[in-house]
Amino acid sequence: MSNAESSASQSPSVASAPTPPGNVVSIAKLAEHVGETVTVRGWLYNKRSSGKLHFLEVRDGSGIVQAVVFKGNVSPELFAAADHIQQESSIEVDGLVKEHGKLKGTYELDAKDVRLVAATAREYPISPKEHGTDFLMDHRHLWLRSKRQHAIMRVRHAIIKAVRDFFDENDFTLVDAPVFTPNACEGTSTLFQTDYHGEPAYLTQSGQLYMEAGAAAFGKVYCFGPTFRAEKSKTRRHLAEFWMVEPEVAFMDLAGDMVLAEQFLSFVVSRVLETRRKELDVLASEKRPDDPEWWTRHMTMLENVKAPFPRITYHEAIDLLQKNGHPDAKVGDDFGGDEETTISKKFDCPVIIHRYPMDLKAFYFARDPNDPTLALNMDVLAPEGYGEIIGGGQREADLARLESAIAEHRLPKEAFEWYLDLRRYGSFPHAGFGLGIERTVSWICGLPHVRETIPFPRMLNRLAP
């Protein structure tokens, strides 16, 4: 070990990062360097030894490569030291890039030198053995380094990139919504209240009201940012802080909104399938002994995400529930997780449910002219039991009706005066929706819970790390 002789038992030292002799390359780019001696900088992910060989698995964020340290190729000191590097020590490896003898498309390093940048101060707490969820969540800052989390975050990134590309390529203007707001957009029961220089303010539940102002200014707009809900129950679908993308379009009605939602979702899923196969393959290794075929079925479902999606009304959804294990379901009920799971399992692609009773919905929805007890709203449910990932619809454009809705929902009218201005000065039919990024990641990655879909989840009872 030419540079730092320390091992894990000594205090860790960060070697003054030397300029390596070779060219530093990222692991993802090794294929372009076969036959060259290169330097990889990263962390020791795993290690095996057998007599004359040490196999060091090194990760650098872009990928993982196996560096083979052969006794005959390195000094005896280096060979001995390589055996003592602890998991997650930071290291540099110089080596010759080779394609793996049996695995085409897999590359290895024939190590010539290994330098310790910093040894670990103590044993890394996350080992390949099974750990409980609480333990892993407490160590989320370290857990993010694992293969599975790496794959999920890369899929998340691809989803967000596709979301932005879709709207950017379709002439939407990005209009950022504020995080502090005086308005309860989605009801008063899930508000996080803060003190804003002596005034009460809320962390935003949705950027929608601001997007409606944006639609009047720019026609087609979207916002993308964190939103906050003080959800009081623990479920696999709810976070206290989640990211939402919200388009809003002037002169669009509910029918147009459904078309926009299905085209948008089809685009996002097909982009992820195009660009993140490798990461999805990592997630495929998740074992479900009771259902060994689940991943094949999951991938088929993702391939099936093509507009148009089936559409059913709320009333048809109640019928479907009554016939499928919810005999007590009746008009007027809201759908909880169980009901959404039942409905979404009935379809092998996303399904749109539209026209819920007004009583179940937020104040801003337009009423169906054919039945004013119904809202011109829609939810998109992901298949395989994942449930609602999109909620939206057409907004009330009439000033007087909106004023009474605000009163009926017991919302403070003063706080909504600016919003009512949008109806006073050139009111217009318009519609939009919100897609929750984490629920989308959860579905596409086939995860049982949203907690792994965001780098640092905020949930009931969890604020750290």
Where along the sequence are the contacts to ligand 4AD (CB under 6 A)?
185-186, 206, 208, 229, 231, 238-239, 242, 244, 246, 388-392, 432-434, 436, 438-439, 450
Beta carbon of residue 290, minimum distance to Mg ion (angstroms, whole number): 31
- Own/partner contacts of 196-203, CB < 8 Å, gap of 24 or more, are 202/228, 203/179, 203/228
Interacting partner of 419 out of ligand 4AD, Mg ion, none (Cβ under 5 to 8 A depending on kind):
none
**In degrees to the nearest 10, what's the CA dihedral of 330, 336, 339, 341?**
170
Query: Side by side, which strands form the sheet with 180-181?
Result: 180-181, 199-203, 193-196
| Residue (54 or 439) nearer to Mg ion, CB | 439
Both structure tokens of 318: 């109640």
Beta carbon of residue 237, minimum distance to Mg ion (angstroms, whole number): 11
| Residue (6 or 440) nearer to ligand 4AD, CB | 440
| Rounded Cα distance, 463 and 457, in Å | 8
Beta carbon of residue 362, minimum distance to Mg ion (angstroms, whole number): 9
Interacting partner of 185 out of Mg ion, ligand 4AD, none (Cβ under 5 to 8 A depending on kind):
ligand 4AD
For position 387 contacting Mg ion by CB under 5 A, the verdict is no
Residue identified by tokens 């507009």 is 307
| Residue (107 or 224) nearer to Mg ion, CB | 224
Is 211 in contact with 221 (CB distance < 8 Å)? yes
| Residue (113 or 438) nearer to ligand 4AD, CB | 438
| Rounded Cα distance, 399 and 420, in Å | 7
Beta carbon of residue 291, minimum distance to ligand 4AD (angstroms, whole number): 25
Beta carbon of residue 40, minimum distance to ligand 4AD (angstroms, whole number): 38
Q: How far is CA 167 from the centre of its chain?
A: 18
Both structure tokens of 243: 């990211």
Both structure tokens of 227: 């939103």
Interacting partner of 57 out of Mg ion, ligand 4AD, none (Cβ under 5 to 8 A depending on kind):
none
Q: Which stretch binds Mg ion (CB under 5 A): 173-181, 303-311, 369-377, 391-399?
A: 391-399
For position 391 contacting Mg ion by CB under 5 A, the verdict is yes
| Residue (22 or 391) nearer to Mg ion, CB | 391
Interacting partner of 436 out of Mg ion, ligand 4AD, none (Cβ under 5 to 8 A depending on kind):
ligand 4AD
Question: Considering all CA atoms of the chain, what is the largest pairwise distance in Å, rounded to the nearest integer?
Answer: 85
Burial class (CB in 10 A: 0-12, 13-18, 19+), 243: buried
Outline where 177-313 has alpha helix (H): 208-218, 254-275, 277-284, 294-303
| Residue (145 or 458) nearer to ligand 4AD, CB | 458
Interacting partner of 206 out of ligand 4AD, Mg ion, none (Cβ under 5 to 8 A depending on kind):
ligand 4AD
Distances (CA, A) of 389 to 208, 221, 230: 16, 20, 18
| Rounded Cα distance, 242 and 340, in Å | 20
| Residue (244 or 358) nearer to ligand 4AD, CB | 244
Q: Could you list the residues that contact Mg ion (CB under 5 A)?
A: 391
